[in-house]
Amino acid sequence: MLLGLSIGVFAMVLAAVAAGGYWFYIREPRTALASAGGGAASPAALDDDAPEWASTLQHLAGAAPFRAQAKPGMREELAAAGIRAQWAPAAFQSAKVVAALAVPVVVFFLLWGLGGDWAAALPGTALSSYLGYTLPERWLRRRVRSRRQAVNRALPDFLDLLVIAIESGLSLDQALADTARDLRKVHPVLSDELSVFRSELLAGASRSEALKNLGARVGEPELRKLTALLIQADRFGSSVSKMLRTQARYMRIRRRQLAEEKAHKVGVKLLFPIFLLIMPSVFLVTAGPAVLMLVTNFGKIAGDL
């Protein structure tokens, strides 16, 4: 009885979702204008280069009651993750809606199959809906953190190559372009960001503006410092190569200090696994035979009495 009822409910929900998705997919996109102050664009405002799946997600974003509105700063967060398409905010918000619908279905059938009681699976299903909704944000934060760490690791090599290129007689713009090309295989993340910087220059942006956008887009503190120094050097006409050498030396010293700091923390971090995992095993091996001998001897004494 319960099995038939559950299958029937699932079939009805699946049919409703399929019908709604088909309707939102074939309807004409709603026209909307972004506010002059740079407000969040409508979910329907996808660029012409958006893939078909992004268009489907965009329509889903406008479906009630899940109206996915891009929060302030979403485009900047996606740009920091390397996702710069115009349709990315709407598609990302729609992916959160899809995850909020798909994860509970999977969790419900897993819990129902393990426990056999569909009523007991409902609390876990409701909780999984929230977890599914936040899953894309967790992925985005992890991707941003990973890209920033990759940029931080690439900066010393980048500075060395940039100094060599500038001292060979190249201008700063050409040196940055050549360095981005040379780092493409070794440090693809930084090379990609430098390529965007080069594209902004070709589009007519000033060097200071493009450098400022580079630091703000990536959000890595050391890169922000470097772009600020380059902007100051460009503004006041100071020696770029000397400044870059000083910055590279500072970054290596700072990296060595961070490595020493992490090495000093290893002892504290090892206390928990040592006392929880290693010490019980050592105690069992060393004191175990003595305890067995004591138990055996006391047993014999008790038997004699």
For residue 73, how many other CB atoms are within 10 A of its CB? 10
**pLDDT attached to residue 50:** 52
Mean pLDDT of the region 27-39: 36
User: Residue 11 — pLDDT band, cuts 50, 70, 90?
Assistant: low
> Among residues of the chain, what percentage have pLDDT more than 90?
6
Cis peptide before 65 (omega within 30 of 0): yes
Token duo for residue 216? 């703000």
**pLDDT attached to residue 144:** 92
**pLDDT attached to residue 40:** 37
**pLDDT attached to residue 143:** 92
pLDDT digits (tens, 9 = 90+) for 67-108: 445 566 788 888 888 888 887 888 888 888 888 888 888 877
pLDDT digits (tens, 9 = 90+) for 214-268: 988 888 888 898 889 888 888 887 778 888 888 888 888 888 898 899 898 888 8
pLDDT digits (tens, 9 = 90+) for 117-130: 666 667 777 788 88
| C-alpha distances in Å from residue 55, one per residue of 79, 136, 209 | 20, 18, 33
> Which is nearest to 89 in space by CA: 77, 76, 74?
74
**pLDDT attached to residue 142:** 93
Per the model's pLDDT, the better-predicted residue between 72 and 4 turns out to be: 72
Per-domain residue ranges of the chain = 149-255
Token duo for residue 37? 């102050």
pLDDT digits (tens, 9 = 90+) for 188-209: 999 999 888 888 888 888 888 9
**pLDDT attached to residue 176:** 86
CB 95 within 8 A of CB 66: no
Confidence check: pLDDT of 295 > 90: no
Which pTM value belongs to this model? 0.66
